[in-house]
Amino acid sequence: MAARGRSQLHVLGFPLHVRPGFLLFMALIVGIHGNEFGVWLAVSIAGFTLLHEVGHAVVARSAGASAEISLDFLAGYASYRASRPLSQGRQAAIAVAGPVIHIAGGVLVLMLMGVDPLDAASREQSAATAAVWWAGPVIGAFNLVPVLPLDGGNVLSALVERVVPGRGRRMVLWLSLAVTVSAFVVFAFVEDLRPSSIFLGFLLVMQLQSVYAERDRSAASPFDAGVAAMRRGDPDAAVRAVLKGLRRPSTVPVVPTTTVCDDLARLVDLLPRPLAYGDPWNEYVLANLLVQLGEYDEAARYGAESFGRHHRTLVAATVARAAGALGDDETA
């Protein structure tokens, strides 16, 4: 992932960004508990979250990537940028490094405090030891649960990607969403588990955000889909794909990868007239394709109508190109 900007704080050479949301989250923990345990828990979570992200960053750097750390509300994350594609194994190693060092660090701190991590009574001997237990080994282990966006989910995604390249993360994301919704329902109806359902709610929100982000990343141009259908010998499906793209506003503009070819020319010719409107970006793409296909008059008329609806500079430039090709220098 790309870097997030300059930072004046550094840990082991990694830029560190402490967001206001992280400080708010620490204050919220203290306020919810309102006692010594709350203070120790906030301090422990802050320390172990930083250690966790340093674990990710160190392994990412060992793989040849540059990394930086951000601490935000409810979570921390290490973003990294590799100079070359990383193998699925490397990505899994980066993902698992955070929880491993998190758990190991928690166990080490407990032992230095004279606590037996395997003895419940020993772990609960003071507010400090109880806080370290929950913020260290427990949260670290929770991060290994194989659902996104937890680290265990990232490990599972990397492994599934090796089996079904290009689809692994999406498959794990939908599986994670199903598991979290199911768990949320169970927690909501079991009295002893009900207080924990709020954390599942936060997890569910992050998963839904990931679903929308994944949908945007995997979005394809309707013109690419249409040309693919034409090449399969299904012109009706090709026309439906393009009409859907023209009529429904899209969230992310997608540039077609298909160059002008006979299949694309036939597809544009098959589109019902008058041409459809609805999505400003795909209207611009169609107007531009009409220019490239030499249909200058139709491109000028369609682009002018589109500009009248949305007032987009790109469409105006396309109309000018079409008008210029028609010899209408004044309009151009």
Locate the domains of the chain by residue range: 1-144, 146-218, 222-325
Regarding beta strands 75-82 and 65-72, do their DSSP bridges make them parallel or antiparallel, or are they unpaired?
antiparallel
What angle (nearest 5°) sits at the alpha carbon of residue 259, between those of residues 254 and 260?
A: 120
Question: At residue 6, does pLDDT exceed 70?
Answer: no
* pLDDT tens for each residue of 249-281: 887 788 888 787 888 999 999 999 999 999 999
Tell me the angle at which helices 36-62 and 88-112 cross, rounded to the nearest 10 degrees.
140
- pLDDT higher at 167 or 30: 30
* pLDDT tens for each residue of 134-146: 999 999 999 999 9
219 CB neighbour count, 10 Å cutoff: 13
Take residue 319 and report the two structure tokens written for it: 């109309």
Cα separation, 264 vs 256, in Å, equals 11
Contact 73, 161 (CB under 8 A): no
**So what's the pLDDT on residue 7?**
52
Give the burial class of 235: count Cβ atoms within 10 A of its Cβ; 0-12 exposed, 13-18 middle, 19 or more buried. middle
**Topology (CATH) of 222-325:** 1.25.40
Cα separation, 169 vs 183, in Å, equals 21
Q: Dmax over Cα atoms in the chain, in whole Å?
A: 89
How confident is the model over 5-25, as a mean pLDDT?
86
**So what's the pLDDT on residue 216?**
65
**So what's the pLDDT on residue 187?**
87
Which of 4-8, 116-120, 195-199 comes out lowest in average pLDDT?
4-8
Contact 224, 257 (CB under 8 A): yes
Share of the chain above pLDDT 70, in %: 95
101: left (phi over 0), alpha (psi -120 to 50) or beta: alpha
Contact 93, 135 (CB under 8 A): no
Q: DSSP of 74-93, one letter per residue?
A: TEEEEEEEESSPPPHHHHHH
Question: At residue 97, does pLDDT exceed 90?
Answer: yes
Question: At residue 202, does pLDDT exceed 70?
Answer: yes
**So what's the pLDDT on residue 325?**
87
Average pLDDT over all residues of the chain: 89
Distances (CA, A) of 68 to 4, 98, 234: 8, 14, 48
Best mean pLDDT range from 162-171, 224-233, 257-266: 224-233
Question: At residue 175, does pLDDT exceed 90?
Answer: yes
**So what's the pLDDT on residue 253?**
84
**So what's the pLDDT on residue 1?**
41
Share of the chain above pLDDT 90, in %: 64
**So what's the pLDDT on residue 330?**
60
